[in-house]
Amino acid sequence: MSLKEPYLIEEESTDQLDKRGIMKFILPSLFGAFIFLFPIVTEDTFNIPLGIITEYFINLLSAWLPIVVVTIITISTLLTILSAVFKPAFIRNSQTLQSLFDVSIGWTITRTVGCIYAYMAYFHTGWSLVYSDITGQVTFGLLTKLIVWFCIAAFLMPYLINFGIMEFVGTLSRKVIRPLFTLPGRSAIDLLASWIGNVNVGVVITREQFENGTYTGREAAAIVTCFSTVSLPFCLVIAEMLGVGYRFPIFYLTIVIAGLVSAIIIPRIPPITKIPNTYYSENSYQEEAPKNVSKVRWALIQAVNQANKSGSFTDQLKQGRDIFLGIAFALMPQVMAIGTTALIIAEYTPVFQIISKPMVPILELMQLPEASAAAPATIIGFIDMFIPAILASSIDAEITRFVIGALSLIQIIYMTEMGTLLLTSKIPIKFWHLLVIFMLRTAISLPIIVLIAHLIY
């Protein structure tokens, strides 16, 4: 398809800018933006409507969620083993079932391990290092919350990605987003949703856009590793846990500054630049307006065309169902296996104490008190975002707690959730990519955080 063909297609659609088409774009898009982006102050914290809805259902269903998680992991593991050993026709003949359960031997073993871990954690039996409160119980507890996040987000996500708001904002913001982050303008809504909302929801939004052919592999990798930050409420939780909650405005501003600097630099250097800049599937969306059409009108044309292709309410439900099943059955057992194993290594072996020794002189050079105690916390965030705060909470020096807390929230990549979700997606990113990007984000962000910390302490 030539570059001119998308223009011809869209120009033929200009007559479709009637009230019905515009309202089909505006109403669902405003609903989606409200759910995923609108900040709400609740008591002493901030949240978005998606977070409030999810937390309500987590509390409502808390007694049932553990057995739901065990059931999903069991079904996933049994059908994966069944597919690997017997290759039954009902799986081979179903594109959905095949994509869920026809996986490599490595992932089959991982899911089996995850299933065993889940039963140990649920029944508090087996090896204590697996089901203890600092390993298996942590991962299992995360899954009981993640299953609700993914379920609600999956069915609401189509209203953010299918009805034109990404096309509309993308066309208008192209000249800012592209030179600043080397990303397409349509990623602006994705970047906001990834930054403000739940980290895993941000990854899923980006994954769906990549599979729909609107991001290249490099663009999708840059978004998920630079913008899928933890939610604003979680930042406040970490700040309070480390005793710096009274400084939350400057604490969060530090995260924003260091995070934006990292997001500007990392998409321009390896390994992101080495990831193929190709599309997973074909998409005719074109951000740049033709010379004879104003940018605002072109943005509206693109948005209305997308809204008109969105399908019926039933289609949105089917898409939400497919997104949820793809995450629940593929992700849950793998998070249980990888997350728990990583926590066992972190808690019961000296691995991180050993590999963090080079960080001690660096932190001392930056004049941070208790550098030896802080060093492991600077790298253990690769395993889980909560562990650095746990380690740093026993440090006496507030400036050091401030630095570790901010750094842990900027590093982004952690294997208990987000890393596993990425590795099981179709985005062309590998484990070593995640490790290198984690190190780069640490190297870029740490001096910025330390500088700000020294200015306020």
The secondary structure of 188-252 as a DSSP string is HHHHHHHHHS-HHHHHHHHHHHHHTTSSBHHHHHHHHHHT-PPPHHHHHHHHHHTT-GGGHHHHH
86 falls within a domain: yes
Give residue 83's pLDDT band: very low, low, confident or very high (50, 70, 90): very high
58 falls within a domain: yes
Q: Are 161 and 215 in contact (CB under 8 A)?
A: no
pLDDT at 3: 35
Q: Is 279 helix (H, G, I), strand (E, B) or coil?
A: strand
Peptide bond into 271 cis (omega under 30): yes
pLDDT at 171: 82
Q: Is 110 helix (H, G, I), strand (E, B) or coil?
A: helix
Domain that holds residue 199: 4-232+279-339
| 215 vs 218: CA distance, rounded Å | 8
Q: Are 397 and 369 in contact (CB under 8 A)?
A: yes
Q: Which amino acid is at 397?
A: A
| 446 vs 440: CA distance, rounded Å | 10
Dihedral sign from CA coordinates of 279, 284, 287, 290: positive
Give residue 354's pLDDT band: very low, low, confident or very high (50, 70, 90): very high
Q: What is the mean pLDDT of residues 47-72?
A: 91
270 falls within a domain: no
Residue 47 phi/psi, 5-degree rounding, is: -160, 175
Mean pLDDT, the chain, whole residue set = 86
Extract the tokens encoding 118: 């889940």
244 falls within a domain: no
Q: Are 402 and 349 in contact (CB under 8 A)?
A: no
pLDDT at 8: 38
- pLDDT for residue 226 is more than 60: yes
Altogether, the residues listed in the chain come to a count of 457
- pLDDT for residue 314 is more than 80: yes
Q: Is 269 helix (H, G, I), strand (E, B) or coil?
A: coil
435 falls within a domain: no
**Higher model confidence: residue 275 or residue 421?**
275
Give the C-alpha distances (Å, rounded to integers) separating 450 from 153, 255, 358, 453: 36, 11, 17, 5
Q: Are 421 and 331 in contact (CB under 8 A)?
A: yes
Residue 42 pairs in a beta bridge with 45
pLDDT at 2: 35
Region for residue 216 given its phi and psi (left: phi exceeds 0; alpha: psi -120 to 50; beta: otherwise) = beta
Q: Are 158 and 281 in contact (CB under 8 A)?
A: no
Q: What percent of the chain has pLDDT over 90?
A: 40
Q: Are 121 and 132 in contact (CB under 8 A)?
A: no
Give the C-alpha distances (Å, rounded to integers) separating 96 from 78, 90, 244: 16, 11, 47
Q: Is 41 helix (H, G, I), strand (E, B) or coil?
A: strand
- pLDDT for residue 110 is more than 50: yes
Q: Are 184 and 219 in contact (CB under 8 A)?
A: yes
272 falls within a domain: no
374 falls within a domain: no
Give residue 310's pLDDT band: very low, low, confident or very high (50, 70, 90): confident
| Domain count for the chain | 1
Q: What is the mean pLDDT of residues 115-127?
A: 95
| 348 vs 264: CA distance, rounded Å | 37
Q: What is the mean pLDDT of residues 162-187?
A: 85
119 falls within a domain: yes
pLDDT at 369: 95
